Amino acid sequence: MKPKQILFAIVVAFAAAFANAAERSQVTLTVFAAASLTDSLQKITDEFTRATGIRVRVAFAASSALARQIEMGARADVFFSADQDWMNYLQERELIDPSTRVELLGNRLVLIAPSDSNASIELVQDVPLVQALGRSGRLALGDPDSVPAGAYAKAALTSLGVWSDVESRLARAENVRVALMYVARGEAPLGIVYSTDARVEPRVKVIALFPEDSHPPITYPVAVTKVAQPEAAQYVAYLRSDTAKRIFSEAGFVVSASPRQP
């Protein structure tokens, strides 16, 4: 090949590479994710963008609110839920691609108090939780009627035989991070959140861990939606990378060694 031909081939290759990079940079994925994933998933998403050039917007909220937004037509490429129920909700309505659905993470449910609290509670059958709340204190948790963390909390408290005692003393939050803030700001003497949430807020401390058999397993499925852009599959694959696993593990999540499809 003549020098001019070689030079032309190099120029064409560079132009093609630049065009592909430019095309990727124009792609913006939208990810709907559970509020409890806020810190770790944002870090992973930033790493993904640095590695691929693909921009990603992440909306964090209660899984229920996000699933209903998708049902109402909100454009999302990926849904990352804090429980199976809301992923099932979208799958039953054919709004996700079930072939892409995988179970990535696990978590634990904990009872928290403000960091300067002297509260000491053992989560056993018929635990005197109402007495621990005091005369007017409320128990902060995600709304059990819609928020996965709240539903897990209700199941746990029912299992321990105290749900009927505390039901009228709840501070129902729109998502688990809001429940965390109620306790961090001293607006509630006790709260129920995921262990990963408690780790990111220095103004609270974990005073008890709920028995794992007191509630359904806490699992986080993720899937690509039916209207997703092709790059969404690349993003979900990145969530299973060594980088993502490290960040999730450092945040306190239980990372599935071999993510499985339900």
Expressed as residue numbers, the domain containing 127 is 109-214
**What is the model's pLDDT at position 59?**
97
Tell whether 154 and 210 lie within a shared domain: yes
Task: Name which of 43, 36, 44 is nearest 239 in CA terms.
Answer: 44
Tell whether 141 and 203 lie within a shared domain: yes
**What is the model's pLDDT at position 221?**
97
Tell whether 37 and 74 lie within a shared domain: yes
Tell whether 127 and 249 lie within a shared domain: no
Tell whether 195 and 228 lie within a shared domain: no
Tell whether 254 and 235 lie within a shared domain: yes
**What is the model's pLDDT at position 26?**
81
Tell whether 84 and 210 lie within a shared domain: no
CB 57, CB 84: distance < 8 Å: no
Query: How would you classify the pairing of strands 28-34 and 78-80?
Result: parallel
Tell whether 93 and 165 lie within a shared domain: no
The CA distance from 28 to 26, in Å, is 6
For every residue of 55-91, DSSP letters joined together read EEEEEEE-HHHHHHHHHTT---SEEE-SSHHHHHHHH
How far the first Cα of the chain sits from its last, in Å, is 55
* Per-residue pLDDT tens digits of the chain, which is 262 residues long: 554 444 434 433 443 444 444 444 588 999 999 999 999 999 999 999 999 999 999 999 999 999 999 999 999 999 999 999 999 999 999 999 999 999 999 999 999 999 999 999 999 999 999 999 999 999 999 999 999 999 999 999 999 999 999 999 999 999 999 999 999 999 999 999 999 999 999 999 999 999 999 999 999 999 999 999 999 999 999 999 999 999 999 999 999 765 565 5
**What is the model's pLDDT at position 257?**
61
Structural domains counted in the chain? 2
| DSSP H or E run through 238 | helix 231-238
Query: Is this structure's pTM higher than 0.75?
Result: yes
Tell whether 99 and 116 lie within a shared domain: no
Please name the residue that has the structure tokens 């409890």.
36
CB 173, CB 141: distance < 8 Å: yes
**What is the model's pLDDT at position 6?**
44
- What CATH number does residue 143 fall under? 3.40.190.10
The CA distance from 61 to 145, in Å, is 15
Tell whether 118 and 93 lie within a shared domain: no
* Class of residue 243 by CB neighbours under 10 A (exposed 0-12, middle 13-18, buried 19+): middle
Tell whether 208 and 234 lie within a shared domain: no
